[in-house]
Structure 1
C-alpha cells in the first residue's frame, strides 16, 4: 500500500476508526461526562475524544483540546462540527497556558506514555482541574503478541529504531506505577480498572502499513525498499493468519483506565 496523505490525515482515516474511536467511547463512559461541564482533552491528536466530549456537554458546556503537534490540531480543527465551540491549544502537556481550576474534567487518551515528564504533565492536569473535579486517562499494555511480532519484524526488515516506538506505545500500564504518578501529582481517591478490548481490524497486510503511516513510524517505513516492504508484509501476514476470519483481524488489547479526583 502507498500513502500520499500526511501522517495526521492517515491517523484520522485509519487509526481513529480502527483503534482510537472504540477506546474513546470507553473513556467517555468511564468519565461520566455530564451536560454543562467544562472538559479538557490533553494530547487530543485529531480530536476524537474532544468531539465526543463536546457532544456530551452540549451547548451549555465548554470543551478544549490540547496537543503539541500543530499538524494534528489542523486536522482536528477541520473536523469540528459540534454545537459546542471547541478551543484548541498547541502546547505541551507539562506547560499549559491555562488558568488554575478551569475544568471539571481532564481527559487523556493513550497519551501519557509518550510524555517525557509524566509527573509534571499530570501536575499540570491537576492544576487546571477545579476542586472536586476529576482526571480520567487510559493507556494500553502490556504489548499484545501481535505488536510484539510486528516490532520484531520491523526491527528485522526495516530499522531497529522502528521497534522502539512500539515498545513505548505499551510501556505504561503497571497499576502501582500509575497510582504513584497520579498521587504524586495531587490526585486523590485514585481508581484503576483493567479491561480487555477486542478490536476488529483490517487484515494484517493492510493494517501494518495503515498503522505505520498513521504514526511516527512513517518516517522510517517510507524509506523502505520494495524488498523490505514485501518481507515485512509477508512475515506479519504469515504470523497472524490464524487471527483473520472473513478479512478481519481480531486483536485483543489490555487497557488500563485511571481516574483521580482533585
Structure 2
C-alpha cells in the first residue's frame, strides 16, 4: 500500500460522498444494513465508516433502542458522516483505528465494516480487534471489493491513466480497493484472528451515473487516485479526468451510463 492510499483529505471527502457513494457504495450499504438488522443487535459498532453510507442505511433500519457506535480513522470523513446523519441520540461518533479499538472486550453484538478492510495495514490485527470487542455469540459483517476486472468503471479508469502515465501508472484502484479479493486469503486471515464460522458471498450489482463525466470525476478527484495523478503532474488532473470521461463515454454512451460492480460480503463468527 502506498503512503497516500489512506489519505482522504482536502476536497476528496466531499466529492467522495456526493459522487462516489451513490455510484458504487449505496447499493452495498443497503445490503449490509439488511444483514445487520436481521441480527437484531442491541449494541452495534461500525469501523472505517467513511462518510457514513452504511451508517445512514443502518440507522434507518434499526429500532430506537439500539446503541450505535460509529468510528473511522479519518476525521474529515467522519465529520461528513456525522453532519449528514444529523442529530440521532442512538449514535456516538469516535475517531478510532480499527486495529486499536478504544472499547472493552465483549462490548458489541455486531461489528460491521463497509469496504474498509482493504485499507487495514494489518488485516489480521484488525480482524482480531473486531473479535475482541464482540460478544461470544456476536457477528462481524463486512465487505470488500472483488477483483478490478469485475468492476468495470474502476478498471477502465485505471487503463486510461496507465496510458496517460505509461512510465509510472497510477494503480491505486487495482492495488488497494481491488487488491484484496482472494477468498482463501480472506478466510485464512479471519481464522488467524480467531474466527471459525466464516461465510463469503459474491455479490454483483450495477453502478449507475447520469453522465460519464460524473463517473470520471468521482474516481479521479474523489479518491486517493487524485493524489497519484497530482504526484505525477498536478497540471494534468483535469486532463486525466477528461480522458477517463471520454473513454467511458465511448464505451457506455453519452447519456446515463451503467456498468457492473462486484463485491464479496463476509459474515464471520467466533
TM-score normalised by length of structure 2: 0.85
- SS where residue 204 of structure 2 aligns? strand
After TM superposition, the structure 1 = structure 2 runs for residues 33-112 of structure 1, keeping only pairs within 5 Å, are: 33=38, 37-81=42-86, 83-112=88-117
User: How far apart, in 2, do the equivalents of 1:37 and 1:160 lie?
Assistant: 49
Partner residue, 1:230: 239
CA distance in structure 1 between the partners assigned to 2:41 and 2:116 by the alignment: 25
Per mean C-alpha deviation after superposition, the further-off stretch among 30-39 and 112-121 is 30-39
**Contact 1:162–1:220, Cα closer than 8 Å, also in 2:** yes
CA distance in 1, matches of 2:102, 2:244: 46
Q: 2:167 matched to 1:187?
A: no
Alignment CA distance shift 1:193-1:230 (3 Å): same
Distance 1:196 1:36 in 2: 27
String of CA shifts for 1:154-174, please: whole Å, max 9, x gaps.
233258363234431111111
Task: Give the distance between the partners of 1:148 and 1:51, measured in 2 at CA.
Answer: 28
Q: Give the corresponding residue for 1:242.
A: 251
2:211 to 191, 198, 203: 203
Runs of 5+ in structure 2 lacking a partner?
Answer: 1-9
RMSD: 2.3
Conserved 8 A contact 1:34-1:57: no
Question: 1-side partners of 2:169 and 2:129: how far apart?
Answer: 31
Matched, 1:22 2:27: yes
For the residue of structure 2 that corresponds to 1:186, the secondary structure is coil
Q: Equivalents in 1 of 2:35, 2:119: separation in Å? A: 22
- The alpha carbon displacement at 1:251 in A equals 1.4
Bigger mean CA deviation after superposition, 203-212 or 102-111: 203-212
SS at match of 2:24: helix
Return closer, same or farther for 1:215/1:137 CA change in 2, 3 Å cut-off. Answer: same
* More displaced 10-residue stretch of structure 1: 109-118 or 148-157: 148-157
What TM-score do you get using the length of structure 1 for normalisation? 0.88
Q: Is the 8 A contact 1:54 1:61 kept in 2?
A: no
Given that 2:107 and 2:133 are in contact with CA atoms closer than 8 Å, whether structure 1 keeps it comes out as yes
Match of 2:263 among 229, 250, 255: 255
Structure 1 unaligned runs (5+)? none
2:164 corresponds to 1:154:
no
Which whole-Å CA distance do the structure 2 matches of 1:147 and 1:37 have between them?
37
Question: Which deviates further from its counterpart, 143-152 or 208-217?
Answer: 143-152
Question: Which residue number corresponds to residue 6 of structure 2?
Answer: none
Tell me which moved more, 155-164 or 200-209.
155-164
CA gap of 1:195–1:42, structure 2 versus 1, over 3 A, is same
- Residue 135 of structure 1 is matched in structure 2 by 140
Give, in whole Å, the separation in 2 of the partners of 1:232 and 1:9: 17
